[in-house]
């Protein structure tokens, strides 16, 4: 073959090979890269959704992380059941449902919710059978069974009676409500419930102002017989009931000498003369009304200024002075009802 022709043929062959390689290199990304990118985006989306669903709740006995919002919840204290209902969440199990429906105002526990025993001694076997994904417990009642509860499901603990003198029961109530809302992915609903409650306070404050009470000072008590002796629980400023009444424009006249972790001082009639210039708000049971029974005709009682001037305001015997935002709203309505109507 002519040498020139041979060189020309060789060059043409090289050009064909290079062109084929170039075409393969250009085609490869079009078939493989999009598949890799799609898989990566899908994984990122799943990871993002998982991260958004998981949540950590700090509580008095530590921090509990949930992979997703809780749906099957067992509440071992009435307040926590009340909070769930206020958020539009039906609990799976509740302690002492009959007692709840008797004492706690507002919505009753639905019939298909399972009773899991008493608040003091919940039935662990029944709780386990419910296979909850969250248990809400009270530190004061259930700390001793913490390990058993956590074997069943993630458990968060709250303490309605803070030992910190700078932290009152009302603050604890609000924080507990908000943390339960996080656990069930109802933060927006919780915010609305608390905003509505603030409006209830504002409206009540205006109504009491228009009632022209002779004084805005009050003392509030739960009264009962103990060994046939008239006994008074005077609520202290750190109690939830006292903070609520302060929010509607009243002022607690009672100051305890020592910090009362449960929010009240248990005493007798001898404590009342120092408080006689205030409004006397009281809760008694119909079958144990110490003011109509043991104290009827008692000289100390009948000579008190709030008795003489008819500044006595009775709340219903089933008034609930604990609980969450729903109970707070009911308490305000009951106080306004008796104080405005009695003026």
- Model confidence at 341, pLDDT cuts 50, 70, 90, reads confident
Which residues is 251 bridged to in the sheet? Answer: 217
Dig out the tokens for 282 from the structure: 């009281």
Query: What is the model's pLDDT at position 227?
Result: 84
Q: Evaluate if residue 28 carries a pLDDT over 50.
A: no
The confidence band for 174, taking pLDDT boundaries of 50, 70 and 90, is very high
**Taking a C-beta distance cutoff of 8 angstroms, is the pair 283, 241 a contact?**
no
**Distance separating alpha carbons of residues 127 and 151, to the nearest angstrom:** 11
Q: What is the pLDDT of residues 208-262, one digit of tens each?
A: 999 999 999 999 999 999 888 999 999 999 999 999 999 999 999 999 989 999 9
CATH number for the domain running over 195-342? 3.40.50.1980
- For residue 342, what pLDDT is reported? 64
pTM for the whole structure: 0.83
The pLDDT of residue 284 is above 90: yes
**Whether the predicted pLDDT of 11 surpasses 50:** no
Higher local confidence (pLDDT), 53 or 70: 70
Whether pLDDT at 5 is above 50: no
Three-class DSSP labels, the chain: CCHHHHHHHHHHHHHHHHHHHHHHHHHHHHHHHHHHHHHHHHHHHHHHHHHHHCEEEEECCEEEEECCCCCCEEECCHHHHHHHHHCCCCCCEECCHHHHHHHCCCCCCCCCCEECECCCCECHHHHHHHCCCEEEEEHHHHHHHHHHHHHHCCEEEECCCCCCCCCCHHHHHHHHHHHHHHHCCCHHHHHHHHHHHHHHHHHHHHHHHHCCCCCCEEEEEEEEEECCEEEEEEECCCCHHHHHHHHCCCEECCCCCCCCCCCEEEECHHHCHHHCCCEEEEECCHHHCCCCCCCCCCHHHHCCHHHHCCCEEEECCCCCCCCCHHHHHHHHHHHHHHHHHHC
Do the domains 195-342 and 55-185 match in fold?
A: yes
pLDDT at 42 over 80: no
Q: State percent of the chain over pLDDT 70.
A: 84
Q: Is 301 exposed, middle or buried (0-12, 13-18, 19+ CB in 10 A)?
A: middle
Indicate the fold that domain 55-185 takes in CATH. Rossmann fold (3.40.50)
Mean of per-residue pLDDT scores for the chain: 88
Q: Tens digits of per-residue pLDDT, 320-333?
A: 999 999 999 999 99
pLDDT given at position 43: 53
Which sequence spans correspond to the domains of the chain? 55-185, 195-342
């Amino acid at each position: 073959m002519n040498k020139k022709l041979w060189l020309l043929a060789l060059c043409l062959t090289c050009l064909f090979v290079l062109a084929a390689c170039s075409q393969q290199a250009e085609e490869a990304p079009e078939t493989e890269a999009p598949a890799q990118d799609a898989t990566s985006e899908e994984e990122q989306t799943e990871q993002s959704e998982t991260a958004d669903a998981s949540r950590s709740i700090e509580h008095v006995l530590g921090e509990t992380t949930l992979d997703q919002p809780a749906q099957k919840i067992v509440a071992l204290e009435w307040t926590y059941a009340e909070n769930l209902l206020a958020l539009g969440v039906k609990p799976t199990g509740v302690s002492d449902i009959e007692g709840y429906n008797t004492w706690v105002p507002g919505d009753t526990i639905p019939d298909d919710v399972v009773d899991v025993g008493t608040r003091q001694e919940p039935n662990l076997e029944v709780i386990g059978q419910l296979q909850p994904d969250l248990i809400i417990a009270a530190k004061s009642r259930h700390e001793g069974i913490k390990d058993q509860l956590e074997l069943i499901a993630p458990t968060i603990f709250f303490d309605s009676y803070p030992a910190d003198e700078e932290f009152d029961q009302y603050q604890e109530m609000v924080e507990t409500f908000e943390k339960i809302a996080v656990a069930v992915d109802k933060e927006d609903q919780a915010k609305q419930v608390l905003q509505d409650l603030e409006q209830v306070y504002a409206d009540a404050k205006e109504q009491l102002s228009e009632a022209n009470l002779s004084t805005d000072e009050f003392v509030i008590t739960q009264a009962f017989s103990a060994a046939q002796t008239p006994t008074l629980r005077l609520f202290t400023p750190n109690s939830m009931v006292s903070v609520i009444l302060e929010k509607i424009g009243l002022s607690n006249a009672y100051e305890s000498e020592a910090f009362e972790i449960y929010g009240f001082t248990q005493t007798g009639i001898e404590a009342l003369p120092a408080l006689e210039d205030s409004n006397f708000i009281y809760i008694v049971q119909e079958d144990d009304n110490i003011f109509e029974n043991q104290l009827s005709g008692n000289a100390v009682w009948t000579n008190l200024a709030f008795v003489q001037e008819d500044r006595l305001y009775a709340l219903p015997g089933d008034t609930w002075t604990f609980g969450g935002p729903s109970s707070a709203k009911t308490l305000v309505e009951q106080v306004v009802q008796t104080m405005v109507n009695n003026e």
